[in-house]
Structure 1
Amino acid sequence: MSNPYSGNKLPERHIRLLDLHPGEIGTPFRGTLRHACLDSAEFYEALSYTWGAPITSSYLRCGSGSVPLTLNLTQALARLRRTDRTRTLWIDQICINQDNNAERGQQVSLMGDIYRGAAIVNIWLGEEDEETTEAMVYLPHLLQAFSNPDERDDVGDEVPHVMQVLSILTVRSPGWIGLRNIFERPYFRRMWIVQEVALGKTSAVQLGSHTIAWDDLAKAALCLEGDGGHQVDAHRVVRMIKLLRRQTVLDQPGRRPLIRLLHQSFNLLCTNPRDKIYGVLGLATDIRPGELLPDYSLSCQEVYHAATIFCVNKYKSLEVLCQVRHPKSLPALPSWVPDWTVISSLGQSLGFNLSENYSASGKKVSAPQFHLSDDKHTLYSNGKFVDNIQQVGTVMPSEQDLIVNVYERYEVLLEWEQYARTFSPYATGESYPTTFWRLLLADGGTRWKDSDRTRQQFYESHQNLVERNRDLANKDWEPVAEMSIVNTRSLEFDKLMEAACYGRRIAITEQGFLGLVPADAQARDEICILESVKVPLVLRRVPLSGDHHLIGESYLQGWMDGSWFESSPNPNMQFSLI
């Protein structure tokens, strides 16, 4: 059987479209592949889905050739195919010659325009089962929680009424379990979902025989945010998509810089690790034509190295270093180059998610001093040494199932509390309670910071949190009963603490400062502040060398506003990161 792509080179800004021929259930798939210009405004639908295991389940006959299909795509086509007329689709697995690296790179660079141009984006979540069918019954009732919202979130969207959600579904009900299982499907951990859904004009979700509006499913994801038994990560992806869609509608071109998109999508998955970079290029609004083109002939290390250097040069900043996580799965990378294949256990990035609170390297506007070695493997930057780490505590667990690790989390909180009690008053003059809650939040929640009464409320929320963890560690947990006595401020405190502490250790420096450091940090590591970086970094000196390895970002209590960096007598020095 011939190759359907043979002698079928795509002209510039052209794509292939699949005319899927009508057919009855169970009959072989047949279709026609044809070229179309992206600028011709031709009608087509796009498919957003996961490939699944790379095992051929069936074939699509195209003329005298055929295209192999994975099981998930086979199931999707069976649902999408009409019995009475042709349906025109764009599907990456079929419409791109996956064996041609040059074509793949060229088509990936057009991906943003492909999804913008689609009349509708069909989201395929997979086949239904008994639990997800139960969830579809409950979904309309769950959406009632938005009829009288408690408040609006930071992007202006309605927040579900927490107690109304709990009155509709308990966390052990079949409907709740079914919804949670939907959002735990691989689709919601997929890299490409962000671009495909955010840029589409209209999106419809298909789960087996059920069709759901994307906006309704997105609301359900927000209802499941931190449901007490499991932490479902889908809500983070949903929030990102909602924000990107709003920026697209409002035509805010400066709001989607590549460096921030790389951070926001850090923990999403893709079959080809190069797509951790290439998968957000179509969303970035600050990439000019010809910049950072997809090239699948490069190794993953080369792609990540080039992307990091691109960010350093483009933004005249070392902010991208805040994305470094350990342990790396690509050990050949320089320590200062993020390994985007790593799935991070951290709550959130200090240098990105919480960066509006910080300016550790000062507020003076001047060109930072940094440069690369000739081979581009050593990064030189000016900065200041702050202090050595003397002692580190236990890592705050970030296990997704809170029922499993609640006792461990309680034990870690007690340990950290003992560290903080030894510093009262702290170097900043603050008492132990204030020092500790600010540490647990990494000084987040600043919109309430000026109110003494609210400071006390934060501390009381912390006390409730500790007591609740102690109780839950010593008895069977009935999540609904527990959530019914937790006030909104306590839940907010929980979320902020998760963002700051999960996956990090408490650290004490030789001069008696408290901080939060990466799990890989250890005694004798150095805390330094590099020019243009908003947070201190943990560095490890290479033995018998003046070079350093970058361990990751950190929070240092009392050092985050830049006043120390600007007034410190410590000399400005050059650090070499390898």
Structure 2
Amino acid sequence: MTNCVHKTLAAVRAIEDVHVRRSASFKLLCASVLFSIKKARDKAEIGTLKLLIRTRWFDATDRRDKVFALVGLTSDINQSFVDYSKSYEDLMRDLNLMLLEGRIKPTWGNVLDVLSLITREEDDEIAEPSWVVDVFKPQNFEGSYTPVMGGYPSKEPHIQRKPELRFPEEYGPECLRIRGTVFDTIAHTAPFPTFLREGGSQPVGTYDLQNISAYRDWLLRVDAILETQRTDTTDADSMYRPTGESHNDAFWRTLCCNRTSTYGLKTPTDGSSYHAFLTNLIILEASPEFVRIKRWILGVATASSPTMAYYFRGRNWFLRYALPFAVPLFAICFNVAWSKAWESWQDHLHIKQRDFQTCHMAWMWGRQFAITEQGLIGLVPVAARVGDSVGFFAGCRVPYALRRRGEGYVLIGDSYLHGVMDGEGEKFETEMLKIM
């Protein structure tokens, strides 16, 4: 099944119609997910939260069946949970309470990791309670959202699994109190070019020149913002304080959340895949110029044929008659050699940049690049704005974007901040945060 899905997906990517291609891709994803569920069930390695994550892009005529259909596949919830007298909103709230209170065993190391599944659109009005995770993907949300906890699960020795979580009655059923800290503020945001969101299932080589130029302009714009953050504005590779590496290394590691596509919890050893990704974009953008150069060479070679034949007309009868045939033959050989070399070079770059490209495309869905007031760079939800806060909850490795509302905060979504993803949240002084 795995080979079937991968090979069929490769064929699907060649479909020109965007809507047909996207629909076919999601259907293949469904087949792959169903097969993975079967394998996990056979090994008794499946829980409710993992099931919800694997099937969150599925759909149902009655949205409540999105959850009820899974009850028979897991031992975390009994049959009494299936109650069609409840509204979908009440069902989601009850399910989240079960997850947060620990009545459903967390798939990873912390019950609060479920909050990493929250996804919001760019212009979403955040309704209360903001901590309720809707297992349906948003109706207008494109792409496959990857929770940061998937690459940074809370587990020892990084984090003690003792979150301080309360549902105080005086605040009503819509609020909860979580021990945590708000330690920074978003100072700059740079949304990714739209074409990346729309073409994430396609190889970079299929983007047109306008799209590639948009991404190049985005890189230049972000580099200009980063220039103001460097400790030495005369040195492009000045130190990124949280990790002690260059700003360039911190930047490309941020774009892929410092993870590899082959081993999800491993960090990349070097930036060769990222540099191959950039080189591939440059070559694709310059490809029309290369085509013009090739045509110019072929034109000169073809045009020189009658000239050389005329030159040898009375000197060498063999060259006089052979050259008109030899020059076009040379042109054909040159064209074939050029095309083979060009394809070989592109194939080499495509293979080398695949690791970075896969991670980058996976992590950037639903997120935007950001810089905080303390100089941290990272990825925050597309719904986050300049002035929003970022903070940690007790027991979590993943920071969250929060927005002040009255005496408390509303939860926007998970974030990646380079240099503070390995338990640094435990170093901050904490307080009980009111999440509305």
TM-score norm. by structure 1 comes to 0.54
TM-superposed deviation, 1:157: 5.0
Other-structure match for 2:245:
430
In structure 1, give the amino acid aligned to 2:270: R
Which of residues 158, 175, 190 in structure 2 aligns to 1:393? 190
In structure 2, give the amino acid aligned to 1:438: R
Distance 1:367 1:531 in 2: 7
Other-structure match for 2:422:
561
Counterparts of residues 414-493 of structure 1 (less than 5 Å): 414-421=220-227, 422-423=229-230, 424-427=238-241, 428-445=243-260, 447=263, 454-468=269-283, 470-471=285-286, 484=347, 486-493=349-356
> Which secondary structure state, in structure 2, belongs to the residue aligned with residue 494 of structure 1?
helix
In structure 1, give the amino acid aligned to 2:148: G
- Does the 8 A contact of 2:273 with 2:352 survive in 1? yes
Counterparts of residues 120-159 of structure 1 (less than 5 Å): 157-158=2-3
Deviations 1:186-213 (A, max 9, x none): xx7xxxxxxxxxxxxxxxxxxxxxxxxx
Distance 2:265 2:51 in 1: 29
Counterparts of residues 248-327 of structure 1 (less than 5 Å): 248=41, 251-253=42-44, 255-283=45-73, 285-290=74-79, 293-313=81-101, 314=103, 315=105, 317-327=111-121
Distance 1:529 1:559 in 2: 10
Q: Does 1:337 align with 2:197?
A: no
- Does the 8 A contact of 1:260 with 1:352 survive in 2? no
Distance 1:551 1:472 in 2: 41
Distance 1:382 1:264 in 2: 29
Other-structure match for 1:546:
407
How many residues of Structure 1 are paired with residues of Structure 2 in the alignment? 356
Deviations 1:33-82 (A, max 9, x none): xxxxxxxxxxxxxxxxxxxxxxxxxxxxxxxxxxxxxxxxxxxxxxxxxx
TM-score norm. by structure 2 comes to 0.70
Other-structure match for 1:412:
218
In structure 2, give the amino acid aligned to 1:252: K
In structure 2, give the amino acid aligned to 1:411: D
In structure 1, give the amino acid aligned to 2:368: R
> Which secondary structure state, in structure 2, belongs to the residue aligned with residue 233 of structure 1?
helix
Counterparts of residues 66-77 of structure 1 (less than 5 Å): none
> Which secondary structure state, in structure 2, belongs to the residue aligned with residue 388 of structure 1?
strand
TM-superposed deviation, 1:533: 2.7
- Does the 8 A contact of 2:376 with 2:418 survive in 1? yes
Gap change, CA 1:256 and 1:409, over 3 Å in 2:
farther
Identity among equivalent positions (%) equals 22
Higher normalized contact order (CA 8 Å, seq sep 6+, divided by chain length): 2
- Does the 8 A contact of 2:400 with 2:414 survive in 1? yes
In structure 1, give the amino acid aligned to 2:365: Y
TM-superposed deviation, 1:296: 1.9
> Which secondary structure state, in structure 2, belongs to the residue aligned with residue 517 of structure 1?
strand
Q: Which has the larger radius of gyration?
A: 2
TM-superposed deviation, 1:527: 0.5
Gap change, CA 1:469 and 1:442, over 3 Å in 2:
farther
Other-structure match for 1:25:
none
> Which secondary structure state, in structure 2, belongs to the residue aligned with residue 393 of structure 1?
strand
Bigger CA drift: 305-314 or 362-371? 362-371
In structure 2, give the amino acid aligned to 1:321: L
TM-superposed deviation, 1:394: 2.0
In structure 1, give the amino acid aligned to 2:70: V
TM-superposed deviation, 1:549: 0.4
Distance 1:307 1:170 in 2: 36
Counterparts of residues 495-574 of structure 1 (less than 5 Å): 495-542=358-405, 545-562=406-423, 564-566=424-426, 568=427, 570-574=428-432
